[in-house]
Amino acid sequence: MTNLSGGWLKGLEMLEASSRADALRRIILLTDGHANVGERNHDKLIGVASAARSRNITTTTIGFGDGYDEQLLSLIADNGSGNDYWCAGPDQAPQIFNDEFEGLASVVAQNVSVEIQPTDGVIDIGILNEFPMTPVGRGVQIALGDAYGDEKRRVIAKLLLPTVREAGPYPLGEIVIRWATAGDDVELHTVTVPIGIGVSSDPDAPDLDADPAVTEHVNILRAAEERRTALDAIRMGDYDTASSSFNIAADLLESSGGDAMLIRELRLDSTRASNGDWDEMSTKKQWSNRRASTKGRKTRYDD
C-alpha cells in the first residue's frame, strides 16, 4: 500500500514554515508503488505540485523498481518544476541523490520560462519538448523550472507558415526569456529576442543557415515521441505498432549520427516488442531514458 500524499503534504507543511525568503525549497518524493492510500486522484496530486510551485516550493520525484506509475510521477515533477528519476536498484540510488543535491547547490536561475510571441504571419506553433506549457494569446509560454550551472536547456519549436512568395526577410515574432536570480539578492530578469527567417526566390535553394546541431536535437525529440508511441502501444497490447515505433526512433537517431548504443538498444527493443518479450522494468527504463532526452539530461540511472 502506498500513501503518496501523506509524507509529501507533511513535507510541504514543514517547508512553508520556513521564513528564509532566499532559500531553495524542494520536496523529493520517493515511491515504489501506485497511489492507493490517502489522496488517489491524479489530477489533485498534480494540483498539489502546481500549488506548491506557486509558493516557490518545487517537487522532484524518484520511482524505485517497477511497481510505480511513471507517467504520474513525471507529471508531478513537471508541474512542480522538479526532476523525475527512475532508480532501477540500490546501486543507482547514490548517483541519483548526488546529482539532485549537486543540482540544487548549483542553481543559477529560478523559474526560467521561454515565451514565444508570434507575428500574424505564423499560423501555428508546436513545442517538441515535454516542458509544462501555457497558452499566452496566440503564443505559448514554456516553463523550464530552475537552471543549473553545468547544464544546457534547449527548447525546440516548430512554426507553421503560409506559402511565402516574396523573397527577403520574414519576421516570425519574439522570444521572451524570464528568470529570477538565485541567492540572497533575488532579481527578476527579462530578455527579448526577435526571430525571423530569410525567404529565397528559389524553392530548391539549400538552407545555408540550417544548424546541424538543431537538426540533431529535433531528431532526438522526434525519436522520443516515437518511443512514447511505442510505450502507449505496449500498454494497449499492440506490440507490432510498438516494434515499428522503436525502429522509427532508431532511424531518426541514425540519420543524424545519434548515440550508437541507444540506437542498438532501440533496435533490440523493437525485436523484443515484436516477440512480446517485454516487462515493466523495460517500460520504466525506456520511459526514463526518453524523458531524459526531452529534458536534456545525459546521465542514465539504469546501468
Check whether residue 178 and residue 264 sit in a common domain. Answer: no
Checking 43-46 for CB contacts under 8 A at 24+ apart, the result is 45/4, 45/5, 45/72, 45/76, 46/72, 46/75, 46/76, 46/79
Residues 97 and 8 in one domain: yes
Q: Are residues 183 and 249 in the same domain?
A: no
299 contacts: CB under 8 Å, gap ≥ 6: 95, 99, 292
Q: State mean pLDDT over 3-17.
A: 85
Strands 84-87 and 157-160, sheet pairing? unpaired
* 303: in domain: no
Among candidate residues 79, 105, 131, the one where a domain is terminated: 105
Partners of 61 in the β-ladder: 29, 84
Residue 59 Cα distances to 7, 11, 12, 31, 178, angstroms: 13, 10, 10, 13, 21
Same domain membership, residue 126 and residue 90: no
Q: Is residue 227 a contact partner of residue 249, using CB atoms and an 8 Å limit?
A: yes
Indicate the residue among 199, 226, 246 that finishes a domain: 199
Confidence of residue 272 (pLDDT cuts 50, 70, 90): very high
Total domain count, the chain? 3
Assess if residue 205 is contained within a domain. no
Domain span at 41: 4-105
> For the chain, what percent of residues have pLDDT higher than 70?
94
Q: With a cut of 90, say whether residue 240 has pLDDT above it.
A: yes
Cell numbers at 170, concatenated: 520574414
Angle at 275 between CA 270 and CA 278, to 5 degrees: 75
Query: Does 22 reside within a domain?
Result: yes
Residue 39: count other Cβ atoms within 10 Å of its Cβ. 16
The answer, yes or no, to whether residue 99 has pLDDT greater than 70, is yes
Picking from 52, 75, 105, the residue at the C-terminal end of a domain is 105
Kindly state whether residues 116 and 61 are assigned to the same domain.
no
Same domain, 273 and 195: no
Q: Is residue 232 part of a domain?
A: yes
Asked whether residue 175 is assigned to any structural domain, the reply reads: yes
Distance CA 26, CA 12 (A): 9
pLDDT bracket for residue 183 (50, 70, 90): low
Residue 212, CA distances (Å) to 93, 207, 208, 216, 267 in order: 36, 11, 11, 6, 24
Closest CA to 55 of 86, 32, 25: 25
Mean pLDDT of the chain: 89
Please tell me the distance from the alpha carbon of residue 51 to that of residue 46, in angstroms, as a whole number.
Answer: 9
Query: Are 11 and 93 contained in the same domain?
Result: yes
Query: pLDDT grade, residue 166 (50/70/90)?
Result: confident
Q: Kindly report, residue by residue over 259-269, the tens digit of the pLDDT.
A: 899 999 999 99
Burial group, residue 168, by CB count within 10 angstroms (0-12, 13-18, 19+):
exposed
Looking at the structure, tell me whether residues 217 and 191 fall in a common domain: no
Burial class (CB in 10 A: 0-12, 13-18, 19+), 185: exposed
Looking at the fold, whether 53 and 100 belong to one and the same domain comes out as yes
**Can you list the pairs that 32-35 forms with residues at least 24 positions away whose Cβ atoms lie under 8 Å?**
32/2, 32/63, 32/64, 32/65, 32/67, 32/68, 33/1, 33/2, 33/67, 33/68, 34/2, 34/4, 34/67, 34/68, 34/69, 34/72, 35/2, 35/3, 35/4, 35/5, 35/69, 35/72
Domain-located, residue 300: no
pTM for this structure? 0.86
Q: Cβ atoms within 10 A of the Cβ of 147, count? A: 18
pLDDT tens digits for range 103-146: 888 888 888 999 999 999 999 999 999 899 999 999 999 999 88
With 70 as the cut, is the pLDDT of residue 75 above it? yes
Whether residue 134 lies inside any domain: the answer is yes
Same-domain check for residues 49 and 100: yes
Quick one: 168 and 224 in the same domain? Answer: no
Instruction: Give residue 59's pLDDT.
Output: 94
Percent of the chain with pLDDT over 90: 54
Question: Is residue 206 in some structural domain?
Answer: no
| Rounded Cα–Cα distance for residues 129 and 221 (Å) | 7
CATH code for the domain in which residue 161 is found: 2.60.40
Residues 113, 79 share a domain: no
Q: Scanning the structure block, which residue is given the C-alpha cell 536535437? A: 217
CATH number at residue 31: 3.40.50.410
